[in-house]
Structure 1
Amino acid sequence: MPNITIYFFTLLQANPLMLKQKISPFVLLFLLLLTGKNYGQSGFSAKEIQIRKIMMSNPEQAKTLVRNFLTTTEKRHDTTNANMYVYYGFAHNLLNAPDSAIYYYKKALGYVDKYPKSKAKAYLNLGISYRKLTKYDTALKYLKLSETLNKEISNKNGLGMVYGEIASVYNQQFQYEKSIDYLLEALNLFKQSNKPDLINPVKQRLAGTYVGTQNYAFAADLYADVLSYFKTVDLKNYYVTLVNYGECFYYIGNYTKAKAAINEALPGLDKFKDTESKGIALAWLGAIAFKEKDFVKGVAYYDKGLKMLYEKKSYASHAIFLRYITDLNENGKYDKATAAIADSEKKLKDTPVGIKLRADLEKQKSITYKSNDAKDKSIASLEKALVYKDSINFAGYEEKLNKQQAQYQNELQRKKNIALAKHNKFLALKVKSETQKKIIVIGLFVAALAIMLAGYIFYRFKRKLENEKMKSMTMSNALIAQQYENEQESNRQLKKSLLEKQSDLMSGAMRLAGVQENINEMLVAVKEKEDGIDADFLTKKLETLIKQEDYWEAFEKKFSEAHPHFRANLLQAYPGLNKTDLFFASLLKLKLPYKDIGRLMAISPESVVKRKYRLKKKMHIEDEDMFDKILLEMQA
């Protein structure tokens, strides 16, 4: 069964749950609050306050208020116009109209050229909207522009927001390692400003990333952590996150906890009139019912949830529908699956969807059609799945097959034309005797019989060739699909192993730092209290213990497991480095704070800074960012 959770998380804004998680309070802080204060004005106007108040509960009415305000002829400050166009775009995003949102965000961009902070936010809005449309290159382009502006004005919170959105782009492309890197960068920036309203939504996204890597237990722990925060400050996001929490327990196999979380969320979603999130929650109850073999209840939940999502034209519709027909197929409900496919054709037509999700949808459709003896439809869906997974190779095969068929058809037509020409020639001859007429009649009969026989032989040969090719293609498709699944599983295991090793290494480093600090404290205590203690002797013994290189063997071993070639490659690139330099560079690569590095090396944080300066000088690097980039990207 495909991991549908990947789609729910990686679609992000295509998923109403993830969209609403970022809107309140994380995205609202940066996407909606383009305030007069940021532009140098004193605050919000009464009209802006009214718009912001109803934006989440009634975006259609908010859109009307913005439109009416913009049609007035009174003279307005550029920043007021920018605010209004941002509100207009944001309302369109809530109504699942990203194309229109992009248009109005660009209109806002025309008013903020003199205000870099606001311009950075406008670029961020555009990046999010293009991501909703799965135009990832364009999304990254605007997000990088926003990153540059935020760095120039030292806006750490804005930079953290950008990193969170870049992580979302990589998540939608299943590049979890890059996504985690950016999320950790964002988390580090927000921790510096000590803002729980920014920290918790990033932890929430990080939980979604671990769902994508199938680490459901850890994801559930992270969700539990942020739920306690949202319950006190943001009830709407609390209810939405409860659905994700229940999703984790579904994959863990604890259906009792999964149902409890989702059922707790449903009344809250009704209270906030969040029909999209409710539709997804009902679909998860349907999935649980299928696991418990209560198919009548499962179908009812799925149908009700999908109806809500279809009416909202939700971006989660494809992923929910894939889970539905997968459950139906796995439980032999092929007639219902066929009806669901027919019902979805028009309703899913205009909803954006990723290529991998398309491939898995077509694969499930092929299974449904095959089980209902719709051989042609099954083969067509299987072909589409292969096209999505390997479009270049399959396109070449399809072109070759079409060419072979065209050659065969041309040859058959040529032979028919030859026979027809002979037939016309016989008709053109004038027969002078009955004998000649009989010969002509017999000749025509024989020719016609030969043509029919040839046609029948060619038809049988063609059918045999097609059946053999179809059998070969089906076997090849199955083999390719299995190889693809094996490669995906291998990649997931490798990424999981690397994350575990990195976590183990960081934990070990912290424990060693604690031991190192305890030894240093003992040295100070011994030197201060000498009564009854041979202080010189004990001091020398402890100093000798610190200097022993065997003390670090455990750390060295774990670092080598996680980054086996890092030091060798660094030494090859910079042969002037000594053993101490390589050890120090290893600690910097782990991104440990200067305080912890000082504890490990028994030096002060100020000495760490000086040692880093000397190391850069040895490597002939002056730029700080370039130095950090070389250590991080050095082949491990």
Structure 2
Amino acid sequence: MKTKLLTTLLLLLYFNIQSQSPEISKLHQKMESNVRNPDSAKFYLRQLLKHKPELHDTTIGKYYSVLGIQYNKLAVPDSAEYYMKKALEYTALYPSKHGEMYLNLAINYRIGSRYEESLEASEKAIEQFHKAGNLEGVGQAYGEMGSNYNYMMNSEKALEYLKKSIAILSQYGSERELSVVKQKLANLYYNNEDFKFARELYEEVLPVFAKEKGTNYYVTLLTYADCLLQLEENYKGAEEALKEAENAFRKMNQKEYMWIAMGNLAQVYVATGQTQQAQKAFEGAYEGMYQISSPRFLETSVRYLDFLNSQKQYTKALNLIERVMTSAKKARLKMNTDNEIDFLKQAVITYGQNGMAENSLEAFERLDFLQDSLNTALNHAKALEMQEAYQNDLQRERNLVLKRNNELLTENNAKKDNILMLGVLSFILLLAIGLVLYSSNRNKLKLQKELVASLETSKNVLEEKNKLEGELRLERERILENKERELVQVSMEMSNLQNKIIELIDTRDNPESSTALAKELKNLLGQNNYWKYFKGKFIEVHPAFALQLAEMFPNLSENDVAFCCMLKLQLSEKEIAALMGISTDQVEVKKTTLRRKIGMGDDILGFEKLIDHLE
């Protein structure tokens, strides 16, 4: 997308430059010939901007935007944002060009993981493109929004906007623009671990991008190579693609992408048993990401740490952990929750192998806290969603009652008008006075009866609703009280178990008792399998849940169904681990394995909705 927009800007600039001085034309040609080298392109763009008085506002805006793109290539998003916003100042009176500037800004925000700001900029771009009647621009902006939702792990919205984009660009866009959106669609399947379909889409668009071999071509090579790596079907092809991308990014001085390619190449070397090459590639990517303060530094560090642990290079692993924890204080290198969880999992291994029990325990407690926090956040979001749905239903019922009352009032007013007219006519038609009065009184009485009946019906509906809500509230409170009582009982048993284990561990200084201690620990842990007790209680509350789940997914084992039952009750990972006699890490792994079994991959929210909606 960035390369396409840059090319478009340069082509549009060409005709404007023809009317300028020879010096400007010469600078423009030099800038255009060096556009793949960000440092050189920056120099010539600054020289061009010294000629502002001779340039049209749209041309100045385009130069600022292209300058921002160069900083983006150099992984300096703050400077990129500054110049792209500067571009907006000069194109405000020209909707189509203004939309292009907003779209460039949206791309810059997305690359910096500022997704909400990127979506806002994309919407502003769409508004400007609509003003200018530029449907191709609208399609490009929809594609950018799809990319944002893809990075935000909202597959449903990502697919919605990518479909909109493809529909528009199939009619109004070029072959290349349509291929860009198909590439984004491939990224969506890639993120959902449908690597086979993603690979097929990448193979469809790569020949189109290869015609110009810009940044987008080489970025696509990165994800295409990872698909081959994940499918374990063509390591040689993955290695060739990554080497081509790395060499190209090195020549273009796009350092972040260059280090990404090198880090991915290390993964290929690991998979093919080339340990020395893997270590060299990991070290290069790790140091490179750190030097440019890339937001992807932590992701690369986690992969490298995993490699060092696998090679038993624990001293290097400890140094890496210390650097990561120090660098996390920087705003650009601050860890997000998912990355920190992956990092802590590897750190626990490193500390354990180095005999650093206190550090290992501290890291494990932080890991446990983060995982519980994620579960709490997801449960809170689910509760808000249910509350909102309930409020919407309630408001809908109120609206229906109000609508019916309004209809009755309107009917009442209309009949009153008829009565009045009959009264006037009664003065004219003396012979019909009796009949008119009788008819009007009868109609009035009937109307009043209908109104009273309607009000009574409304009153009964509201009273019945209040009664049902009260009964539901009491029932929920009763169920909650029972669950809390049972939970306290189980928690006390778990607490006693832990105290006994701690007492046994305290005797570990006596080597002679180690064998007896291990045997006693196993016996003690084996006595606390709560599944039979849990299963009986669960069937009382949700008698049809396990049967429905087994019918929908016959490949699930009894253990899988048991695990789903615990998720249905929204138990914490600690509680599930206690009930099944496994660790909290194994609980997280089991969740991932279970989603894959039922074909939902990384769709965590979709999986939770499935469990929640089953009876």
Note if contact 1:126-1:142 (Cα within 8 Å) is conserved in structure 2.
yes
2:297 counterpart residue number: 317
Aligned partner of 1:300 in structure 2 is 280
Q: Distance in 1 between matches of 2:132 and 2:16?
A: 14
C-alpha deviations, 1:353-375, integer Å up to 9, x for none? 54322332233223322332223
Q: Does 1:221 align with 2:203?
A: no
Aligned 8 A contact 1:134 1:354 in 2: no
Deviation at 1:116, TM superposition (A): 0.9
Report the residue type matching 2:358 in the other structure.
D
Cα gap change, 1:292 to 1:180, in 2 (>3 Å): same
Q: Report how far residue 214 of structure 1 moved.
A: 0.7
Provide the rounded CA distance (Å) in 2 between the counterparts of 1:190 and 1:77: 30
CA contact (8 A) 2:242 2:261 kept: yes
Name the CA distance, whole Å, in 2 between partners of 1:109 and 1:138. 15
Instruction: Assess, with a 3 A threshold, how the Cα gap between structure 1 residues 392 and 223 changes in structure 2: closer, same or farther.
Output: closer
Q: How does 1:212-361 map to 2 (within 5 A)?
A: 212-234=191-213, 237-254=216-233, 255-263=235-243, 265-269=245-249, 272=252, 274-330=254-310, 332-345=312-325, 349=330, 350-351=332-333, 354-361=336-343
Q: Does 1:28 align with 2:6?
A: yes
CA distance in 2, matches of 1:123, 1:163: 13
- Work out the CA distance in 1 between the residues paired with 2:201 and 2:82: 37
TM-score, reference length from structure 2 = 0.57
Structure 1 CA distance for aligned equivalents of residues 132 and 195 of structure 2: 39
- 1:221 counterpart letter in structure 2: E
Higher RCO (Cα < 8 Å, 6 or more apart): 1
Partner of 1:100: 79
CA distance in 2 between counterparts of 1:80 and 1:235 reads 23
**Distance apart, 1:76 and its partner CA:** 4.0
Matched, 1:161 2:140: yes
Cα distance, 1:392–1:248 mapped onto 2, change above 3 Å: closer
- The structure-2 alpha-carbon separation of the partners of 1:185 and 1:491, relative to structure 1 and needing over 3 Å to count, comes to farther
Q: 3-state SS of the aligned residue for 1:218?
A: helix
Deviations 1:70-122 (A, max 9, x none): 34574543223322321232222222222222222222212222111122122
Deviation at 1:169, TM superposition (A): 1.4
Equivalent residues of 1:36, 1:80 under 8 A apart: yes
Write the letter of the residue equivalent to 1:207: A
Letter in 2 for 1:205: K
Partner of 2:359: 377
CA distance in 2, matches of 1:393, 1:219: 30
In the alignment, structure 1 residue 129 sits paired with structure 2 residue 108:
yes
**Aligned partner letter, 1:162:** A
Q: State how 1:222-621 maps to structure 2 within 5 Å.
A: 222-234=201-213, 237-254=216-233, 255-263=235-243, 265-269=245-249, 272=252, 274-330=254-310, 332-345=312-325, 349=330, 350-351=332-333, 354-391=336-373, 482-487=586-591, 496=600
- Mapped to 2, the partners of 1:129 and 1:495 lie a distance apart of 34
- What secondary structure is seen at the aligned counterpart in 1 of 2:120? helix
Aligned AA (1:28): L
1:66 aligned to 2:48? no
2:315 maps to a residue whose letter is D
- Contact preservation (8 Å) 2:74, 2:254: no
**1:182 aligns to what?**
161
How far apart in 2 are the matches of 1:122 and 1:268?
Answer: 27
The CA deviation at 1:189 is: 1.6
Deviation at 1:243, TM superposition (A): 3.3
How high is the TM-score relative to the length of structure 1? 0.55
For residue 127 of structure 2, what is the aligned residue in structure 1?
148
Q: Deviations over 1:504-533 (max 9, x none)?
A: xxxxxxxxxxxxxxxxxxxxxxxxxxxxxx
Tell me the equivalent position of 1:50. Answer: 30
Superimposed CA distance per residue, residues 581-606 of structure 1 (whole angstroms, 9 cap, x where no aligned partner): xxxxxxxxxxxxxxxxxxxxxxxxxx
Identify if the C-alpha distance between structure 1 residues 389 and 162 changes in structure 2 by more than 3 Å, giving closer, same or farther: farther
Cα deviation 1:141-172 (Å, max 9, x = unaligned) = 22112222223333221112211211221122
Structure 2 alignment gaps of length 5 or more: 378-498, 507-571, 604-609, 611-615
CA RMSD of aligned residues (A): 4.1
The answer to whether residue 194 in structure 2 is matched with residue 210 in structure 1 is no
Q: Distance in 1 between matches of 2:291 and 2:327?
A: 9
Q: What CA distance in whole angstroms lies between the structure 2 residues aligned with 1:250 and 1:217?
A: 11
Q: Work out whether residues 34 and 118 of structure 1, in 8 Å CA contact, stay in contact via their aligned partners in 2.
A: no
- Note the alpha carbon deviations across 1:29-76, whole angstroms, 9 max, x for none: 56x44945899997996244433432321x223323333443457454
The answer to whether residue 61 in structure 2 is matched with residue 82 in structure 1 is yes
Alpha carbons of structure 1 residues 245 and 393: separation in structure 2 relative to 1, 3 Å: closer
Provide closer, same or farther for how the CA distance between residues 257 and 96 of structure 1 changes in structure 2, counting only shifts above 3 A.
Answer: closer
- Aligned CA distance change for structure 1 residues 299 and 474 (closer, same or farther; 3 Å): farther
Change (3 A) 1:131 1:281: closer
Distance 1:148 1:235 in 2: 29
Conservation of the 8 A alpha-carbon contact between 2:68 and 2:83: yes
Alpha-carbon distance change, 289 to 41 in structure 1, aligned in 2, over 3 angstroms: closer
Size of the aligned set, in residue pairs, is 407
Instruction: State which drifts further: 225-234 or 348-357.
Output: 348-357
**Deviations along 1:411-445, whole A, 9 cap, x unmatched?**
xxxxxxxxxxxxxxxxxxxxxxxxxxxxxxxxxxx
Mapped to 2, the partners of 1:200 and 1:256 lie a distance apart of 25
Preserved CA contact (<8 Å) 2:73 2:254: no
1:192 Cα deviation after fit? 0.9
Helix, strand or coil at the partner of 2:211: helix
Distance 1:479 1:115 in 2: 61
Alignment partners' CA distance in 2, 1:245 and 1:329: 28
Structure 1 unpaired stretches of 5+: 1-21, 396-463, 500-563, 565-636
Q: Output one character per residue of 1:258-289: Cα deviation in whole Å (capped at 9) or x when no partner.
A: 33433455555555555544433332232233
Name which of 192, 195, 215 aligns with 2:171. Answer: 192
State the percentage of identical aligned residues. 28
- Aligned CA distance change for structure 1 residues 82 and 257 (closer, same or farther; 3 Å): closer
Q: Deviations over 1:193-246 (max 9, x none)?
A: 351111222222222221111111111111112222233332665444333322
4+ aligned runs moved over 6 Å, structure 1: 37-44, 392-395, 492-495
The change in CA–CA distance for 1:331 and 1:291 in structure 2 (over 3 A counts) is farther
Tell me if structure 2 keeps the 8 A contact 1:24–1:234: no
Whether the 8 Å CA contact 2:42–2:67 is kept in 1: the answer is yes
Task: Name the amino acid aligned to 1:160.
Answer: G
